[in-house]
Copies of this chain bind each other. A is one copy, B any other.
Amino acid sequence: MSVPDEVRAARAYLSRVAEPPAEALVSFVERFGPVEAAELVRCGEVPGPVAALTRARRGVDRTEPDLRAAEGFGARLLVPEDDDWPTEAFRACALSGQPHLAAPVALWVRGPVRLARATERSVAIVGARAATGYGSHVAADLAHGVAGLGCTVVSGAAHGIDGAAHRGTLAASGVTVAVLAGGLDRPYPAGHARLLAHIAEQGLVVSEYPPGSVPGRHRFLVRNRIIAALAAGTVVVEAGWRSGARRTASDAELLGRPVMAVPGPVTSAMSVGCHRLLREPGTIAVTRAEEVVEAIGRIGTDLSLPLPGMPAPRPTDRLSAVALRVHEALPWRDAREVGVLSVESGLPVDLVRAVLPELARLGLVEDVGAGWRRASACDRR
């Protein structure tokens, strides 16, 4: 289903007329539709809050040049009327009741991926620009892992953790989405121009800012809400005491999405922000991709698998403390009477009697007439 040109043109105008987040404008557009809303904004026939947002720029109409420029560098304007607009992802913006989390009016996008599809199952991996080797390694590793589990990785293309997350995803031939704080023709940081070009080939580079927009300081914080909204959960890998990544985490929390943090050495200044998050209620400590996917996934389908390289579970792992003590009171070879087991384990004889059949059912002990002993299966663990 194709979107009428006038709708896309109206959204292009609206994407430049107000500095995001523009909650009053988004609501206004929802009420009147983009074409009529754009017309009303142009004439200034709008309620106070919309007027305040649009007064400064309503006379600036760069719709045609913007759309042409985007086409020129291989981008397009994605609008809520498009099939691949991530409607679900942005629904939480309105539901949050937070004006500063307002959905974008439209998104300039570049890349072969359909955004709605890519964000059905996605994780934001964000963190410090001044990442340590540890942080970069973990970010790349986590991204590689979640990509391997079928998740899209969303991040901000910054130096440090963001870049490592994008690269880790690309290395796994996964889908990654980079959300910029300026126009798509202004790759930022400049040193990531090649990385962004690579992402635009295999994933998607997106921005709510029209071509030519400069990524100002304020816009990085505002942009973070898009990262949080496009992901089913946000992982902070490394963050200093004051960090934009913590803002992304806070946006995610307000959007009702799980916030995860990766622990690091307490001696590292770059983990201070993560530990600060971990001390807040609700933050989930994650150490590997399976735990990330578990946090965003449905229970039962994505429950984290045993850690690779972790010792196989022992049959005694799930015993109650009491059963374990009875089991430990049994010698490796000889049998023991219940009374002796009681003394050895320090447990009342009734309790020992009650526990032994349970241990026998689990194949851990056997009754040899003269007493109980460990079942031979235990020796083979």
Q: Which residues of A contact B (CB under 8 A)?
A: 18-24, 48-49, 51-57, 98-100, 134, 137-138, 217-218, 222, 241-242, 262-267, 271-272, 274-275, 278-279, 284-285, 287-288, 291, 307, 310-311, 321-322, 325, 328-329, 339-340, 342-352
Contact = CB atoms under 8 A, between A and B. Distances in A.
A188 B80 CA distance: 70
A11 to B, nearest CB: 17
A291 B279 contact: yes
A285 B325 CA distance: 30
Given A291-B279, A329-B218, A347-B99, A266 B266 contact: no
Q: Which of A137, A222, A311, A347 has the most CB of B within 10 A?
A: A347
14 contacts: A22-B346, A48-B349, A48-B350, A53-B342, A54-B343, A57-B343, A137-B267, A218-B345, A241-B311, A263-B265, A263-B274, A263-B275, A264-B264, A278-B285
Given A19-B344, A222-B346, A263-B274, 10 more contacts: A20-B346, A48-B350, A54-B343, A99-B348, A100-B321, A218-B325, A218-B344, A263-B266, A263-B271, A263-B285
Overall SS of chain A's interface: helix
Nearest to A242: B311
A307 B53 CA distance: 40
Nearest to A52: B349
A51 B311 CA distance: 40
